[in-house]
Amino acid sequence: MEIFVVPTASATGSVAAGILAAVVRSKPDAVLGLATGGSPLPVYRALAEHSVEMGAVRGFALDEYVGLPAGHPESYAEVVRREVTVRLGLDPAKVAVPDGGAPDPRQAAANYDAAIARAGGIDVQILGIGHNGHIAFNEPGSALDSRTRVEVLTERTRQANARYFASPEDVPTQCITQGLGTIMEARHLLLVVNGADKAEILAAALQGPVSSDCPASVLQRHAHVTVVADEAAAAKLAPGTGEVTVRVAGAAVGV
């Protein structure tokens, strides 16, 4: 595992975008795993500044709410369209989001894993982490080998996401999420974390026991993980536990 610690959230975007741009330059039809939420936004903004042709890139979103009407601005299909597909110039036909409006969401979940496999798997999966240690919508208790499936959102997650909706009751109660086993099959995991409110859970995930109580702890078992964290989020990481930690000064990342 390599951990980049950078001064600010915006610098997490610069560093992570540099990694992604290098991947796409060497493989123009790379398969990217796309995360929503606040943490990856600086990444997409910084990646848009790179002069790299993204038209052949393929994308798979991590998750989607179940039951929002098609075109709802906070559906992840719409968020991915706005923040990723349009911003980066991806071909919309090459970007997939789980179908949260499907008549049979369970079947849609199974189809999604099959589509990822048909694409040859994910080259780089962008990830954020929730305050309870979730990655995608794999809430605590998720099996470490779980597949893409329908899940119930915890109240903590619904509260965290209420900021995007007019009223907290509007946050859906269910989702389709890539499973932890699905995520672990990506060849490279790129976790982007910022803010002091994530410091405790980041340390637990990277340096605590591997357990479904903290789903992100499964990352410890992956052979190629890059963590990009701002100093506030990295504040509770214990030094010297084996991973490579690179502290990047402001000037090096354009801040």
With CB under 6 A as the contact rule, which of the stretches 33-41, 75-83, 87-95, 222-230 interacts with ligand PGA? 33-41
Residue with smaller CB distance to ligand PGA, 129 or 189: 129
Return the residue of 12, 39, 148, 217 that touches ligand PGA, per CB under 6 A: 39
Instruction: Output 12 or 52, the one with its CB closest to ligand PGA.
Output: 12
Q: Is-catalytic flag, 63? A: yes
Nearer to ligand PGA, 7 or 37 (CB): 37
List the interface residues with ligand PGA, window 109-128 (CB under 6 A).
128
Distance from C-alpha of 7 to C-alpha of 199, rounded to nearest angstrom: 14
Confirm or reject binding of residue 214 to ligand PGA (CB under 6 A): no
List the helix and strand counts (H, then E) for the chain.
Answer: 9, 11
> Rounded to whole angstroms, how far apart are CA atoms 212 and 142?
6
Considering only 13, 37, 98, 133, the residue that binds ligand PGA (CB under 6 A) is: 37
In angstroms, the CA 173 to CA 65 distance is 8
Q: Output phi, psi for 147, to 5 deg.
A: -105, 175
Of residues 111 and 200, the one with the C-beta less far from ligand PGA:
200
Structure tokens at 95: 């970007």
- Going 76 to 64 to 88 to 161, the CA torsion angle's sign is positive
By C-alpha distance, which of 152, 137, 243, 144 is closest to 185? 144
Out of 99, 123, 134, 230, the active site residue is: 134
129 binds ligand PGA (CB under 6 A): yes
Residue 139: active-site member? yes
With 0-12 / 13-18 / 19 or more C-beta atoms within 10 angstroms meaning exposed / middle / buried, residue 84 is buried
CA distance 153 to 159: 10
47: nearest Cα among 86, 77, 78: 86
133 belongs to the binding site for ligand PGA (CB under 6 A): no
Residue 138 is among the residues annotated as catalytic for this protein? no
β-pairing verdict for 2-6 and 225-230: parallel
Contact flag: residue 38 with ligand PGA (CB under 6 A): yes
Please indicate whether residue 194 is annotated as part of the active site. Answer: no
CB of 163 to ligand PGA, least distance (A): 9
Please list the residues that pair with 34 across neighbouring strands: 61
SS (H, E, C) 130-149: CCCCCECCECCCCCCCCCCE
140 binds ligand PGA (CB under 6 A): no
Active-site residue identified among 74, 131, 132, 243? 132
In the complex, what is the shortest distance from the CB of residue 51 to ligand PGA, in angstroms, rounded to a whole number? Answer: 27
Catalytic residue among 64, 139, 151, 230: 139
CB of 242 to ligand PGA, least distance (A): 25
Which positions touch ligand PGA (CB under 6 A)?
37-39, 128-130, 134
| Catalytic positions, written as ranges | 63, 132, 134, 139
